[in-house]
Amino acid sequence: MTTPLDPEMFDPVCPSDLSPIRVGDKWAGMIVRCLEHGPRRFSELRVPMRGVTAKALTKSLRTLERDGLVHRASHPGPVRRVDYALTPLGRSLIEPMAAACAWAQEHWAELIDAREAVSRPVR
């Protein structure tokens, strides 16, 4: 059994869409991070990903599965259980994603300034 995911795993103040380097959609990178240490159930993934709707999480998981990054395993039994796990291809994303996160942290202020400059009304 894996350790429960930390509900504070993702900083709510840190907008995931700030980084110009993205894997898949808005939630895909967070899903990969959640699966880094082993398979997880759908309900477990929602704990640290507070802002995701069930519909959006389902769509992201299906896209990651279609792209060969995530494997969906259905376990029959009296209580049906579905787990999601990274495939070897999905696991190969962990190191590049860590580098992209480090880059975004290093350039955080510049990224925020650029976003704010574009969203300011021109006078």
Q: Where are the domains of the chain?
A: 18-118
d(CA 109, CA 123) in angstroms, rounded, equals: 24
pLDDT tens for 101-117 read: 888 888 888 988 888 88
Distances (CA, A) of 65 to 16, 41, 78, 97, 115: 21, 14, 25, 18, 32
CATH T-level topology, domain 18-118? Arc Repressor Mutant, subunit A (1.10.10)
> Amino acid letter at 106?
E
Taking 3-state DSSP, the helix, strand and coil percentages for the chain, each rounded to the nearest 5, stand at: 45, 10, 40
Q: CB atoms < 10 A from the CB of 44, how many?
A: 17
pTM of the model: 0.80
User: Would you say residue 11 has pLDDT above 70?
Assistant: no
